Amino acid sequence: MDSMTMTRVIVIALFALMVISIVAADEPNCSVKHPSTGKFYDLSPLVKKDNDNDWTPDTGADKSWEFRLNVCHTVLKKELDVKNPDGIAAWGKKNKGTSLGKLSKNPFFRGDSLLLEYKDGDECPNTNGNYKKSTLIRFMCDTSVSGQGNPTLLANNNDCNFWFEWRTPAACATDRPTPTNGGGVFGTIIGIVIFVYIVGGVAYNRIVHHARGLKQIPNYQWWAEAFDFVKDMLIILFAKCYRPKRSQSYHNLPNDSEINTLMDSEYEEDEP
C-alpha cells in the first residue's frame, strides 16, 4: 500500500468519523425543552418498534372509527389499505383505511401544552383536495395511570382533523441526558484509527515486504522525510531566534570611509 493510497484512506476515515461524532453529539429525537422553564421532556418511552403493537386510542362512544398511532415512529401495522403507506404515523379506518398524518419526531410546546402533530395525511373529504388530514396529540403528565397510559380521542373535525389526549408519566419533566462529548468521541476514534494504521501497516510490511527494524513502520520513507523537514525547520527557527548579539565594545569603531580618511591624513603628515 503506497503512501498516497494510505493517506486517502486515512482522510476518508477521519471525515466519516467526524460526521459520526457530530451526530452523536446531537440532541435525541422525540424530546423537547420547555421554552420558558427550561425543563426537559422525553417522549421516547412511548415509541413502539419492531414486534410491538401500535397504540390503539380509546374512541369512547364513537365506534365508527378504528385508529392506530405511534410516537415519533411510523405505525407498525402492515395492512393499511392506503395508496401511499410510507411515513404514516397516524392511521384510521372508517370503511376504508386512511392516512391521518406523516411522521414527525419533534414534539413542541404551545403555551404549557406538550404537543406532537402529524400533518400531510390523505385528502380531507369534500374539500376538493385543498386540505389534508392531520393528527394532534396533547400529552399530559400523569403518574397515576397504568404503565404509559393510552391515548383518547377528544375530537373529530369533519373526518379531517383529529385531536387526542394522552395522560402518561412520559409527559413529565425529566433530567436532561448528559450529551455525548463530540470532541471526546472524535479524539478517541482518531486514536483508534492511528493505532489500527500503525499496527496494520507494521504487520503488512513485515509479512508482505519482509521489512525489519524501523522500515516496518507504514510509509517509513515518507515519515522519515517529514521528520527531517520538521527538524530542519526547527533548527532554522531556533538559529534565528537565538543568534548571539554583537559585542558592545565594537559598536563605536569607525566605518571604512573614516578609516581611509585617517590613513590618508597620517600619510600626508609623514611626507617630508
The full 3-state SS of 125-156, as one line of letters, equals CCCCCCCECEEEEEEEECCCCCCCCCEEEEEE
Cell numbers 520513507 label which residue?
221
Orientation angle between helical segments 182-208 and 3-25, nearest 10 degrees: 160
Q: Residue ranges per domain, the chain?
A: 3-22+180-241, 31-171
Q: Which fold has domain 31-171?
A: Cation-dependent Mannose-6-phosphate Receptor; Chain A (2.70.130)
Distance CA 117, CA 128 (A): 23
Cell numbers 527494524 label which residue?
213
Say if pTM beats, i.e. exceeds, 0.75: no
Residue pair 83/100 in contact by the 8 Å Cβ criterion: no
Residue pair 225/57 in contact by the 8 Å Cβ criterion: no
Cell numbers 484509527 label which residue?
193
Distance CA 121, CA 88 (A): 8
Go through 232-244 and write b for each residue having 16 or more CB atoms within 10 A of its CB, e for each that does not: eeeeeeeeeeeee
pLDDT by residue, tens only, the chain of 272 residues = 454 555 555 555 555 555 444 444 445 789 999 999 999 999 999 999 987 899 999 998 888 999 999 999 999 999 899 989 999 999 999 999 999 999 999 999 999 999 999 999 999 999 998 999 999 999 999 999 999 999 999 999 999 999 999 999 999 999 876 555 555 666 777 778 777 777 777 777 778 767 777 666 777 677 777 778 888 888 888 877 766 555 444 444 445 555 455 445 544 555 55
Under 8 Å CB-to-CB from 44, ≥6 apart: which residues? 28, 29, 30, 31, 72, 170
Distance CA 131, CA 110 (A): 22
Give me the pLDDT at residue 33, please.
95
The CA-to-CA distance between both ends of the chain, in Å, stands at 88
